[in-house]
């Protein structure tokens, strides 16, 4: 971690953060009295209006972790990282106009993707898909606590490494307490508060950053560090076409249509027209949730490139960016700690922490409900009471939280956080893409094809840096991910043709 950096974070800022977090806990306790059943707990009783759905969709996805991994990409990739923002904004807009995947799912009234598997392919695929989804989803969350702790310690100037472990432990206790209290009803309230604070906070921070650094010095720093690859995403020394295609698929299509939290949002609104509106309006938010943090990451690059003391912490002697992913991840919060004045830094920090809680509780709730509804309930043929479902979901949330703490403490990241997130998510989403697209839009999709495609999605695990180190290979994560998608589609297609489902008998 950088030495010699004093943060502007003051006692006033700590008071703002603590007050803000206590306030959200009180909200959680208050809304708990509205929870009647699993539908209230998971999709807020399908009672969200369009604006609230947009706020909660952006609020949930514009979390601290998103801001951290997007800022890191801006730091390590320069302006050309904006192609990820374009993919993330353009695809939901197209989905809003076409209703691709999400409208057929909404018509079926499903709350989770495996529930669709059950309807289309049968109970076995639902359970298998549910297990894979929960495993990939929990793995995908594995670095959330680490990212949150890096943010808090860098922002506040707690530079001793031991504080990262302490902050991770405190954060998980706060998140678990909040999530188990209220479910989706409280999630939408915190999403709303966090949407307001973080949206305006990020915009203000961008203005302050440009004012502090000057536009020209930002451009010059990117040119010095990255060269032409810092502006041109197709440049062979930068991202390249394979990475762009991978982002179009993951940050664009999968994040907005196949990732479980997005599907839950589509299930939460009142009707199909609202689903379309939700996606059209949210597309701006999806674009911005990448672009503004990426820009702040670029500003951090420009700031530390010319910093007399901290330069050596983020760059090598020959002007290359440091290879340690945790160091590049910390550049953005360190930068905030340097340029934001006392008071404002507390508000932005509180907003980011609320964003962290909001995202965390959305995901915890999501994966726990998948295990309950798509694994446990089908295995028991639905013979499980509402009370037992809620209790089991809350127990699972606590167990997942404990796993996340252990994983966050021990897993060696070894790659940009965004790439870890996309690859770990792909373990589920590559198979899911094949099952959904060929299940909804092709009549011949069969059960055997579904099992094969889901299994092929597991190939994405070879995109994780520690796994590559373990098996002695070195491949770009984008190539592995695209290969897994191709394998899943191919196996789904060929498996369905070779092993079609038996025609259903005519009921007597």
Q: CB 79 → another protein: shortest distance, Å?
A: 5
Q: Which two tokens stand for residue 341?
A: 């004045």
Cα–Cα distance for residue pair 120/447, rounded to 1 Å: 9
Kindly state the smallest distance separating residue 205's Cβ from another protein, in Å: 11
| Tokens coding 478 | 């984008």
User: 31 or 344, CB closer to another protein?
Assistant: 31
Instruction: State the minimum distance, in angstroms, from the CB of residue 246 to another protein.
Output: 20
- For position 44 contacting another protein by CB under 8 A, the verdict is yes
Q: Candidates 38-46, 141-149, 253-261, 401-409 — which segment interacts with another protein by CB under 8 A? A: 38-46
Binding segment (CB under 8 A) for another protein, from list 81-89, 112-120, 169-177, 461-469 = 81-89
Give the C-alpha distances (Å, rounded to integers) separating 445 from 104, 434, 449, 498: 16, 9, 7, 11
The verdict on 200 binding another protein (CB under 8 A) reads yes
Q: Which stretch binds another protein (CB under 8 A): 44-52, 95-103, 132-140, 250-258?
A: 44-52
**Which residue in the set 14, 163, 192, 407 belongs to the binding site for another protein (CB under 8 A)?**
192
Nearest by Cα to 424 from 410, 439, 413, 435? 413
Annotate each residue in 391-410 with x if it binds another protein (CB under 8 A) or - if it does not, as one string. --------------------
Question: If binding is defined by CB under 8 A, does position 15 make contact with another protein?
Answer: no
Nearer to another protein, 144 or 286 (CB): 286
The sign of the dihedral angle between the CA atoms of 127, 132, 260, 352 is positive
What is the Cα Rg of the chain in Å?
A: 22
| Contact (CB, 8 A) for 443 and 461 | no
Q: Whose Cβ is closer to another protein: residue 14's or residue 231's?
A: 231
Distance CA 106, CA 79 (A): 37
Residue 460 to residues 73, 262, 453, 456, 478, Cα–Cα distance (Å): 21, 21, 12, 8, 10
Q: How many residues bind another protein (CB under 8 A)?
A: 47
Q: Which residues are bridge partners to 315 per DSSP? A: 321
Q: State how far the Cα of 174 lies from the Cα of 160, in Å rounded to an integer.
A: 22
Per CB under 8 A, contacts with another protein among 238-297 are: 281, 284-285, 287-288, 291-292, 295
Our finding on whether 45 is near another protein (CB under 8 A) is yes
Residue 261 C-beta: closest distance to another protein, Å: 18
Nearest approach, Cβ of residue 473 and another protein (Å): 33
Kindly tell me which residue out of 75, 82, 243, 420 binds another protein, with binding defined by CB under 8 A: 82
Query: Binding segment for another protein among 74-82, 325-333, 439-447, 479-487 (CB under 8 A)?
Result: 74-82
Q: How far is CA 10 from CA 13, 103, 109, 154, in A?
A: 5, 48, 49, 13
Interaction of residue 228 with another protein, rule CB under 8 A: yes
Contact call for residues 267 and 110 (beta carbons, < 8 A): yes
Residue 38 is a binding residue for another protein (CB under 8 A): no
CB of 274 to another protein, least distance (A): 11
Asked if 214 interacts with another protein (CB under 8 A), we say no
Does 443 interact with another protein (rule: CB under 8 A)?
no
Which of 248, 247, 255, 242 shows the shortest CA–CA distance to 479?
A: 242
- In this structure, the number of other CB atoms found within 10 A of the CB of residue 339 comes to 19
**Candidate list 6, 11, 33, 410; residue touching another protein; CB under 8 A:** 33
Tell me: does residue 421 bind another protein (CB under 8 A).
Answer: no
Residue closer to another protein, measured from CB, 281 or 303: 281
Considering only 79, 121, 332, 451, the residue that binds another protein (CB under 8 A) is: 79
Ranges within 87-126 binding another protein (CB under 8 A): 89
Report the residue from 135, 166, 177, 219 that binds another protein according to the rule CB under 8 A: 219
> Residues 145, 85, 66, CA angle at the centre, nearest 5°?
10
| Contact status: 163 vs another protein (CB under 8 A) | no
DSSP string, 371-431: IIIIIIHHHTTT---HHHHHHHHHHHHHHHHHHHHHHHHH----S-HHHHHHHHHHHHHHH
DSSP states of 436-457: HHHHHS-TT--HHHHHHHHHHH
Using CB under 8 A, list all residues that contact another protein. 33-34, 36, 40, 44-45, 47-56, 58, 79-80, 82, 85-86, 89, 185, 188-189, 192, 195-196, 199-200, 203, 206, 219, 223, 228, 231-233, 281, 284-285, 287-288, 291-292, 295
């Amino acid at each position: 971690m950088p030495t010699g950096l004093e943060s502007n974070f003051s006692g006033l800022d700590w008071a703002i953060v603590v007050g803000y977090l206590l306030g959200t806990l009180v909200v959680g306790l208050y809304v708990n009295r509205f929870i009647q059943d699993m539908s209230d707990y998971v999709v807020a009783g399908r009672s969200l209006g369009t604006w609230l759905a947009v706020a909660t969709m952006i609020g949930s996805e514009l979390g601290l972790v998103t801001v951290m991994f997007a800022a890191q990409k801006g730091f390590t990739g320069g302006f050309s990282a904006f192609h990820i923002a374009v993919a993330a904004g353009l695809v939901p807009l197209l989905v809003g106009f076409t209703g691709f995947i999400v409208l057929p799912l909404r018509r079926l009234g499903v709350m989770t993707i495996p529930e669709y598997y059950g309807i289309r392919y049968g109970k076995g695929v639902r359970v298998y898909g549910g297990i894979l989804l929960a495993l990939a989803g929990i793995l995908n969350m594995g670095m959330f606590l680490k990212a949150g702790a890096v943010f808090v310690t860098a922002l506040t100037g707690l530079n001793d490494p031991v504080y990262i472990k302490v902050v991770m432990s405190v954060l998980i206790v706060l998140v678990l307490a909040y999530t188990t209290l209220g479910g989706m009803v409280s999630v939408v309230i915190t999403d709303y508060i966090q949407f307001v604070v973080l949206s305006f906070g990020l915009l203000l921070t961008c203005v302050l950053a440009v004012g502090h650094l000057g536009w020209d010095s930002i451009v010059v720093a990117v040119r010095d560090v990255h060269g032409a690859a810092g502006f041109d995403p197709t440049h062979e020394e930068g991202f390249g076409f394979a990475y762009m295609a991978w982002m179009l698929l993951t940050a664009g299509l999968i994040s907005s249509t196949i990732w479980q939290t997005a599907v839950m949002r589509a299930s939460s609104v009142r009707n199909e027209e609202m689903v379309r509106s939700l996606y059209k309006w949210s597309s701006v938010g999806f674009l911005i949730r990448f672009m503004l943090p990426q820009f702040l990451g670029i500003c951090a690059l420009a700031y530390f490139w010319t910093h007399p003391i901290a330069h050596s912490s983020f760059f090598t002697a020959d002007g290359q960016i440091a290879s340690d992913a945790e160091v590049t991840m910390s550049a953005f919060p360190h930068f905030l700690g340097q340029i934001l004045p006392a008071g404002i830094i507390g508000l932005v920090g509180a907003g980011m922490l609320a964003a962290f809680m909001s995202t965390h509780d959305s995901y915890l709730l999501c994966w726990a409900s998948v295990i309950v509804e798509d694994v446990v309930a089908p295995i028991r043929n639905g013979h499980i009471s509402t009370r037992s479902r809620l209790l089991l979901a809350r127990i699972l949330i606590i167990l997942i939280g404990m796993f996340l703490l252990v994983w966050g403490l021990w897993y060696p990241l070894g790659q940009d956080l965004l790439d870890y997130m996309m690859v770990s998510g792909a373990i589920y989403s590559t198979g899911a893409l094949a099952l959904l697209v060929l299940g909804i839009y092709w009549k011949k999709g069969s059960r055997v094809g579904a099992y094969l495609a889901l299994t092929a999605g597991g190939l994405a695990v070879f995109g994780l840096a520690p796994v590559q180190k373990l098996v002695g290979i070195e491949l770009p994560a984008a190539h592995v991910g695209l290969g897994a998608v191709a394998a899943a589609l191919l196996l789904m297609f060929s498996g369905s043709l070779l092993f079609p489902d038996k025609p259903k008998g005519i009921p007597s």
